[in-house]
Structure 1
Amino acid sequence: MSVSHRFGVRRVCVIALSLLLTGTGPSWGAPKEVRYILDFMPDGFHAPYYVALDKGFFTDEGLNVKISRGYGSGDTVLKLAAGQYDVGLAAIGALITARANENAAVKGIMLYLTRDMLTMWVRDEGKITTPKDLEGKTISTTPGNGHFVMFPAFAKGAGFDAGKVKWVTVDGAAMGPMLINKQIDAAPFFASHGPRIQAQATERGIRLKPFPYADYGLKIYSTSLIARDETIQKDPDTLARFVRASLKGMRWAADNVDEAARIVMKHNPEVTFEATKGAWEVSKKFIFVEASSCRSNRAPPCSSSPTARCSPRATLARRPPTSSSTATGSWRWAPAWPRRRTPPASTRPASWSCPG
């Protein structure tokens, strides 16, 4: 059954700032340049944004968008805060920590993942069978990696001592090969990266085993579109247009999985079709949620609140950030358009609203 048919029982829920959702009609002047940085290397997880670029959804909104690869959420947040980019994609945990410890003037503007995909990957060779076996082991990370930020909460839920793990900071592109070549014991990747890194491991006759953080009690909101405080205050219209085009890309990619994967390949020749398609198929499960999940108009208490319970490393700051300082609006469950103003059918996902 196609995604478009399943939308009869599924709703698209996102979190966004209400003022960003009241954009004007398509009467633009010269295209607005937007520099957009991803959280990591491009793959199927990023399909909606490449679809929006390739299908002209950004152009329709008067935007000339340039997409750049990321090197980990923490790096993305800091580069955005420094003004090197206009919009970014990053894990909320990394944003909270950067806001608390680096005073990064960046906020979330739209939730991309309604459930977290943080996952620790190990070689399935009998040496690490439970998360507790990670004690005494070496794990790779990138600077400000969301997995690293949330690791203490994962360890607490899984019942082991996070302080007994050794971390090594490496380039994101090196983590997979280092795990496969047995230079490290574990590596953090999103669940959507599974098809790619497992394919690489299979070539060496190795099987990988995932430990999803969510399976051990870490049920939080995750990767979001982010922007600088200054942009949110001075140019909300551009952000509104970027969000609208992105949502159109989400719907189109959900309805056209194979072609969406090919579009990602078109812009990133280094990726493979099967891995890209697999990554997008996994990602969809974390982006589109069942209508029953939208019963409450407000986010669950732990989902976005920057507390020690949700983002332990943020407590290292003297003044941990508040919810209002890390996310725009009140982080409500909401369709990506105002409730009182129904968007044109051509610009909204089918069954787009969430019950209030």
Structure 2
Amino acid sequence: MFNRLVAAAFAASVAITGAAGAVSAQTSMPFALDWKFEGPAAPYFLAVDSGLFSDAGLEVEISEGKGSLDAIPKVATGAFPVGFADINSLMRFLDQNPGAPVTAIMMIYDKPPFAVVGRKSLGVETAKDLEGKVLGAPPPDGAWAQFPIFAAENGLDMEQITVEPVGFPTREPMLAEGQVAAVTGFSFSSTLNLKRLGVPEDDLSVILMADNGVDLYGNAIIVNTDFAAENAEAVTGFLTAIAAGWRAAIVDPDAAIEALIERNPAADADLEKERLQMAIDDNVLTDFVAENGLGGIDADRMASAIEQTATVYEFTSEPDAALYFDDSYLPAADSRMLK
């Protein structure tokens, strides 16, 4: 299966290699995001504009993605050396593609934004309210990928929930129009998209999976392990710049959003600033990160997350945390502190 993925990504890899040029004074590290150029991506653009990557000898071009799972095969096939993806989906990918050269190296969403967002006027305020309702879920969505754990932890009868596969562009509009009663998504994405569509904030119910029994991590920086083995210093420099970009965005979110708007002029700056702040407050700058710095994980919590995943997903081989997260490329903790 993995060999087929390699073939499928060959054209993309060639395109990137050609764009990078034959010889460069800097190491080219194209970076594949999980999603569009929205608020939570602003710290990476701020890192570009502030020279944080170039100071580390890196040439970083950032590309948008199509969902939390999107970057995993891109990085595994070598089309991109680094990306941003859901670590839980990475576990399953590696189980289904043993030996694929990809792993997570820096946790960004210490508290994942996986959520079910519903409308109170349509009868959804708690997890149990989903029974008897229509739930809109994009198949490539990271939150939907974890929904079975959420359902099990909250005793939901899946036979009483009508799941409607929806596309990312139609997810929030369908909820705004009442075609579905709730959707799966990232809290900061769906919530603000619905506000933009005119749904009153007090009509929204944001059910965070992390607050309802789901003990998982979220999105992380992932790397092609073959690339990392040959460019260890560059990878650590990349992670150092990532941490500095988040730190700068926390200090000056307006500058971060300005960098974002340069790449996405059609975006609403105020809304994207609110989205960025939600990600900082709810997902990135947790108590653990404030104490230990951005990027690391707690071994016991990771073990618990694997156990929880195993309750709804049958691993074909014994799960091994060392396959899913490698902290050896992280810079020193003091350079990863966000405050």
- 1:72 and 1:142 in contact (8 A); partners too: no
Distance (Å, rounded) in 1 between the aligned partners of 2:68 and 2:288: 29
CA offsets, 1:334-353, max 9 Å, x none? xx5336xx76xxxx6466xx
Which residue of the partner structure matches residue 10 of structure 1?
none
TM-score w.r.t. the length of structure 2 is: 0.81
- Per the TM alignment, residue 48 of structure 1 is displaced from its structure 2 partner at its CA by 1.1
- Per the TM alignment, residue 287 of structure 1 is displaced from its structure 2 partner at its CA by 1.3
Which residue of the partner structure matches residue 288 of structure 1?
285
Determine what percentage of the aligned residue pairs are the same residue: 24
Between 122-131 and 267-276, the greater mean CA deviation after superposition? 122-131
Cα distance change on mapping 1:271 and 1:196 into 2, 3 Å: farther
Q: Could you say what secondary structure the match of 1:202 adopts?
A: coil
Q: Which residues in structure 2 correspond to 1:298-313 (within 5 Å)? A: 299=298, 301-303=300-302, 307-310=306-309, 312-313=311-312
Q: Which residues in structure 2 correspond to 1:36-51 (within 5 Å)? A: 36-51=31-46
Distance (Å, rounded) in 2 between the aligned partners of 1:163 and 1:322: 32
Structure 2: tracts of 5 or more residues without a match: 1-23
**Which structure exhibits the higher relative contact order, with contacts defined as CA atoms closer than 8 Å and separated by 6 or more residues?**
1
Which residue of the partner structure matches residue 192 of structure 2?
196
Which residue of the partner structure matches residue 273 of structure 1?
269
Between 36-45 and 283-292, the greater mean CA deviation after superposition? 283-292
Distance (Å, rounded) in 2 between the aligned partners of 1:194 and 1:100: 30
Distance (Å, rounded) in 2 between the aligned partners of 1:320 and 1:166: 33
Which residue of the partner structure matches residue 215 of structure 1?
211
Distance (Å, rounded) in 1 between the aligned partners of 2:164 and 2:78: 28
Aligned-CA RMSD value: 3.0
TM-score w.r.t. the length of structure 1 is: 0.78
Which among 28, 31, 34 is matched to residue 29 of structure 2?
A: 34
Which among 61, 65, 74 is matched to residue 66 of structure 1?
A: 61
Q: Could you say what secondary structure the match of 1:140 adopts?
A: strand
Which among 300, 322, 325 is matched to residue 320 of structure 2?
A: 322
- 1:72 and 1:143 in contact (8 A); partners too: no
Cα distance change on mapping 1:219 and 1:130 into 2, 3 Å: same
- 2:289 and 2:337 in contact (8 A); partners too: no
The one-letter code matched in structure 2 to 1:225 is I
Distance (Å, rounded) in 1 between the aligned partners of 2:216 and 2:222: 17
The one-letter code matched in structure 2 to 1:155 is A
Distance (Å, rounded) in 2 between the aligned partners of 1:292 and 1:212: 19
Cα distance change on mapping 1:43 and 1:127 into 2, 3 Å: same
Structure 1: tracts of 5 or more residues without a match: 1-28, 352-356
The one-letter code matched in structure 1 to 2:314 is L
Which among 109, 120, 125 is matched to residue 129 of structure 1?
A: 125
CA offsets, 1:194-243, max 9 Å, x none? 55213223268993221110121213321100012212222222211111
Cα distance change on mapping 1:257 and 1:320 into 2, 3 Å: same
Cα distance change on mapping 1:162 and 1:93 into 2, 3 Å: farther
Q: Could you say what secondary structure the match of 1:73 adopts?
A: coil
Which among 209, 218, 229 is matched to residue 233 of structure 1?
A: 229
- 1:99 and 1:321 in contact (8 A); partners too: no
The one-letter code matched in structure 2 to 1:69 is E
- Aligned length, in residue pairs: 313
- 1:151 and 1:162 in contact (8 A); partners too: no
Which residue of the partner structure matches residue 17 of structure 2?
none
Distance (Å, rounded) in 1 between the aligned partners of 2:43 and 2:276: 9
Distance (Å, rounded) in 2 between the aligned partners of 1:168 and 1:106: 32
- Per the TM alignment, residue 247 of structure 1 is displaced from its structure 2 partner at its CA by 1.1
Cα distance change on mapping 1:132 and 1:321 into 2, 3 Å: same
- 2:39 and 2:274 in contact (8 A); partners too: yes
- 1:137 and 1:166 in contact (8 A); partners too: yes
The one-letter code matched in structure 2 to 1:208 is L
2:239 matches 1:247: no
- Per the TM alignment, residue 272 of structure 1 is displaced from its structure 2 partner at its CA by 0.7
The structure with more helix, counted as a fraction of residues: 2
Distance (Å, rounded) in 2 between the aligned partners of 1:105 and 1:163: 38
- Per the TM alignment, residue 51 of structure 1 is displaced from its structure 2 partner at its CA by 0.6
- Per the TM alignment, residue 50 of structure 1 is displaced from its structure 2 partner at its CA by 1.0
Distance (Å, rounded) in 2 between the aligned partners of 1:320 and 1:178: 40
Which residue of the partner structure matches residue 8 of structure 1?
none
- 1:154 and 1:216 in contact (8 A); partners too: yes
- Per the TM alignment, residue 281 of structure 1 is displaced from its structure 2 partner at its CA by 0.9
